[in-house]
A and B are shown apart, each in its own frame.
Chain A
Amino acid sequence: QVQLQQSGPGLVKPSQTLSLTCAISGDSVSSNSAAWNWIRQSPSRGLEWLGRTYYRSKWYNDYALSVKSRLTINPDTSKNQFSLQLNSVTPEDTAVYYCTRDAVAASFFDYWGQGTLVTVSS
């Protein structure tokens, strides 16, 4: 049974960096078939796919154009987890953030973390 456990702060100041971590159990971040994603949800933007990391003999990342200049997703093989860093946040980045697994890199999401409400406010 795959489980994704998210951690990170719920409050970030404007212009600072939003950092979240997703710990994986029951699968490997280095899987040659899965991809590991971040998705956020807000009343104004709905569900929004942000980006992913995956391993196919080497590491790859894909990012949504809307956040590409500010977003970094990194795997951590020693801890079997992956992280999100979103720079220069504004109140528009206030949302519930989810980490997800895409089992076969087909880009639908079969396992989700519990979600983290991140509020951007001074």
Chain B
Amino acid sequence: EIVMTQSPATLSVSPGERATLSCRASQSVSSSLAWYQQKPGQAPRLLIYGASTRATGIPARFSGSGSGTEFTLTISSLQSEDFAVYYCQQYNSWPPWTFGQGTKVEIK
């Protein structure tokens, strides 16, 4: 099973600043990497798939990069609605599809 490790666990950022979140895979997942945003009491929402392709309706301030074992989600200018928990998920190696433990982006 591929283990996904996210860092940091918590990121404190001021509104308008850039946020950079990391996700590392225990072995290569090529570009089969997705990012999700989850707010309290809600289901996760797909942001990015294929490591860098934004899902439908996702603002351009969200961008993804990386391949192999190292991936990054960047939020270029944090808005109030972006404070949430972010998860990465690999879908290269099955079974099973696996998720990271999450990075909480909080207001500084």
Contacts and interface: CB of A to CB of B under 8 A. Distances in A.
Interface of A: 46-49, 62-66, 98, 106-110, 112-115
A110 B53 CA distance: 13
A46 B91 contact: no
B55 A110 contact: yes
B-side interface size class? 20 to 34
A62 B34 contact: no
Contacts of B42: 115
Interface of B: 32, 34, 36, 42-46, 49, 55-56, 87, 89, 91, 94-102
Nearest to A62: B95
Nearest to B35: A108
B98 A49 contact: yes
Contacts of A63: 95
Contact of B91 (A48, A65, A98, A107): A107
A115 B41 CA distance: 9
A46 B99 contact: yes
